[in-house]
């Protein structure tokens, strides 16, 4: 992770204003796929994104050792960058690719979906990760919120992309409903408990 941290330190402090006065990204693409980057490296890059909004246009951390912890750090950093930059679209990252990190699950997906909902990420790729139904639902909610905002003219994002291929999305497990209160059921349970207690005393 030391190499990723060194790159992150440079991105975090490098000035972005060019000769034309525009604050373009320092790097259009940072590809660290299959580089054995773990959560420490991902968190260092997250700090760079948070402290220098818009410094990086596309980040590829595919096929590494990133888990929910690192993915969540990136999601939070992107959302914070949007707030620091002054709202939706400010400090936006075009693409974040975490494909092939099998320990990125619903928690990481949920955090990244929140960054997308905040308008700070336009494309998220989590192919062949550990995302299940809850993570997919989180992206669905983010997309619905963005569509609603766009219909009201409140969002500058014209298009978003989400790739969850290769995940075992399955179905959400329904929550068990509590059984309704029944005096007769309560009485029968109390009787059974008392009977068991009496039998236990009798065996002494």
From the number of C-beta atoms within 10 Å of its C-beta (0-12, 13-18, 19+), residue 35 rates as middle
The answer as to whether 88 is a domain residue is: yes
Residues making up the chain, counted from first to last: 204
Output 90 or 122, whichever has higher pLDDT.
122
Q: CATH number of the domain that 61 lies in?
A: 3.80.10.10
Where in the sequence is the domain holding 20, given as residue range(s)?
A: 2-177
Above 80 in pLDDT, residue 128? yes
What count of other Cβ atoms lies within 10 Å of the Cβ of residue 166?
Answer: 13
pLDDT digits (tens, 9 = 90+) for 27-53: 999 999 999 999 999 999 999 999 998
Q: What is the pLDDT of residue 25?
A: 85
DSSP string, 13-51: H---B-TTS-B--SEEEEE-TTS---HHHHHHHHHHHHH
User: How far is C-alpha 79 from the chain's CA centre?
Assistant: 11
pLDDT digits (tens, 9 = 90+) for 144-202: 998 888 888 776 666 889 999 999 998 554 555 555 544 444 444 444 433 433 343 34
| Within a domain: 22 | yes
Whether 196 is in a domain gets the answer no
Instruction: Please count the structural domains in the chain.
Output: 1
The dihedrals phi and psi of 165, each to the nearest 5 degrees, come to -65, 145
Can you give the pLDDT at residue 200? 36
User: Taking a C-beta distance cutoff of 8 angstroms, is the pair 78, 88 a contact?
Assistant: no
Residue 202 lies in a domain: no
Cα torsion through 9, 12, 13, 19, rounded to 10: 130
- Residue 86 falls inside a structural domain: yes
**For 37-188, where are the E strands, in sequence order?**
56-60, 93-97, 121-125, 161-163
pLDDT bracket for residue 64 (50, 70, 90): very high
Of 42, 49, 47, 48, the closest CA to residue 68 belongs to 42
Residue 35 lies in a domain: yes
pLDDT of residue 193: 38
Q: What are phi and psi of 21, to 5 degrees?
A: 85, 0
83-113: pLDDT as tens digits: 765 555 556 899 999 999 999 999 999 999 9
**pTM (two decimals):** 0.78
Q: Is residue 74 part of a domain?
A: yes
């Amino acid at each position: 992770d030391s190499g990723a941290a060194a790159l992150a330190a440079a991105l975090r402090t490098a000035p972005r204003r060019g000769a034309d006065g525009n604050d373009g990204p320092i790097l259009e693409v940072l590809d660290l796929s299959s580089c054995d980057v773990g959560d420490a490296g991902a968190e260092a890059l997250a700090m760079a994104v948070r402290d220098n909004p818009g410094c990086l246009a596309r980040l590829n951390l595919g096929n590494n050792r990133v888990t929910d912890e690192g993915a969540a750090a990136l999601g939070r950093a992107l959302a914070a960058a949007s707030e620091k930059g002054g709202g939706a679209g400010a400090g936006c990252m075009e693409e974040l690719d975490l494909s092939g990190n099998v320990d990125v699950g619903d928690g990481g997906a949920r955090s990244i979906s929140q960054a997308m909902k905040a308008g700070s990420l336009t494309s998220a790729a989590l192919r062949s990760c550990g995302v299940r139904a809850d993570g997919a639902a989180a992206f669905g909610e983010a997309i619905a919120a963005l569509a609603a905002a766009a219909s009201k003219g409140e969002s500058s994002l014209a298009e978003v992309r989400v790739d969850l291929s290769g995940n075992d999305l399955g179905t959400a497990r329904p929550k068990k409903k509590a059984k309704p209160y029944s005096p007769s059921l309560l009485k029968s349970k109390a009787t059974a408990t008392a009977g068991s207690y009496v039998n236990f005393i009798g065996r002494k």
